């Protein structure tokens, strides 16, 4: 299904002038790599692939990112993907690994491309129209598991301990998929918090493991509408974060049946929607 993805560096070296106690000195720092990734789709019978999106990302998990993005945006369904590969018809080796083509086992409906999917490493497009759109293609999440609050309070530290690139750079977001008992199944990092979520969900799409009705998504940073939307499309019932949710994220969670918890710490958390899934402990 997927052509082997080459091992690429996700960190780079940069010369910096550091000031300590008012004194200047030169040193080398490790920073996270950020590069554009173009996502293309080729449906069955199409003579060529069509460009769908360009996103700024950290290399690594590019195939999962592409598939996760297409799935959470409602452009493909589980089982649609026949092959994922880098485009090999591009000039220059520096571009070859920045364009991913997803080939489908069915025709691709290009009318689904109602808006320009050009995003950045910050949050993507939000708004009432986006919320109405996701409700059309995403049923509310079923009841799902009930989880002790103490389990959720332990997730940020478990996620943090597996952020290998963040440990070196301090510059990446992370998304982790956990069981109701708090066991970590999968963690992915990226300069974009929504990219990290797409990498996690894309891997589950390719593994044929959706919907994720008995899993918890923990993210670093804050909770945006886009993260809630992606979780709901994947069937994830509980989404937690160390940061705050936005107003639209809360509204989306309430309408889509997602339990949303923010400001998660070792001894506390705030639940903004569907609190019945969280048990006292």
CA–CA distances in Å: residue 193 to residues 46, 112, 138, 227 = 32, 24, 21, 8
DSSP assignments along 149-168, one per residue: HHHHHTHHHHHHTT-HHHHH
Q: How far apart are CA 262 and CA 144, in angstroms?
A: 19
**Contact criterion met (CB below 8 Å) for 73 and 55:** no
Rounded Cα distance, 2 and 83, in Å? 5
123, 126, 138, 153: which one is catalytic? 123
Locate all alpha helices (DSSP H) within the chain, ordered by sequence: 62-72, 93-96, 128-137, 149-153, 155-160, 164-169, 193-206, 225-233, 247-256
- Structure-token pair, residue 142: 């079923």
Query: What angle do helix axes 193-206 and 62-72 make, rounded to 10 degrees?
Result: 90
- CA–CA dist 15, 29 (Å, integer): 6
The DSSP-derived string for 18-80 is EEETTEEEEEEEEEE--EEEEEEEE-TT-SS-EEEEEEEE-SSSHHHHHHHHHHHTTS--TT-
Q: Give catalytic status of residue 123 as yes or no.
A: yes
Catalytic residue numbers, as ranges = 123
């Amino acid at each position: 299904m997927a052509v082997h993805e080459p091992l690429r560096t996700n960190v780079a070296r940069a010369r910096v002038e550091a000031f300590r106690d008012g004194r200047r000195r030169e040193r080398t720092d490790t920073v996270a790599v950020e590069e554009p990734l173009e996502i293309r789709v080729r449906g069955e019978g199409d003579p060529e692939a069509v460009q769908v999106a360009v996103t700024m990302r950290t290399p690594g998990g590019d195939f999962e990112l592409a598939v996760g993005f297409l799935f959470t945006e409602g452009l493909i369904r589980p089982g649609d993907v026949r092959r994922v590969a880098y485009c090999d018809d591009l000039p220059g080796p520096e571009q070859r690994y920045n364009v991913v083509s997803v080939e489908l086992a069915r025709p691709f409906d290009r009318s689904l491309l109602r808006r320009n999917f050009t995003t950045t490493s910050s949050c993507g497009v939000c708004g009432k129209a986006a919320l109405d759109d996701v409700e059309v293609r995403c049923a509310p999440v079923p009841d799902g598991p009930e989880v002790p609050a103490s389990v959720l309070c332990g997730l940020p530290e478990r996620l943090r301990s597996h952020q290998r690139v963040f440990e070196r750079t301090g510059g990446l977001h992370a998304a982790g998929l956990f069981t109701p008992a708090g066991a970590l199944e999968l963690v992915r990092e990226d300069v974009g918090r929504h990219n990290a979520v797409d990498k996690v969900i894309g891997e589950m799409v390719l593994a044929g493991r959706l919907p994720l009705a008995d899993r918890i998504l923990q993210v670093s940073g804050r909770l945006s509408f886009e993260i809630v939307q992606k979780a709901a499309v994947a069937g994830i019932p509980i989404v937690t974060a160390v940061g705050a949710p936005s107003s639209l994220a809360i509204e989306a969670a309430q309408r889509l049946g997602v339990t949303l918890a923010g400001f998660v710490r070792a001894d506390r958390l705030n639940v903004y929607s569907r609190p019945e899934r969280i048990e006292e402990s």
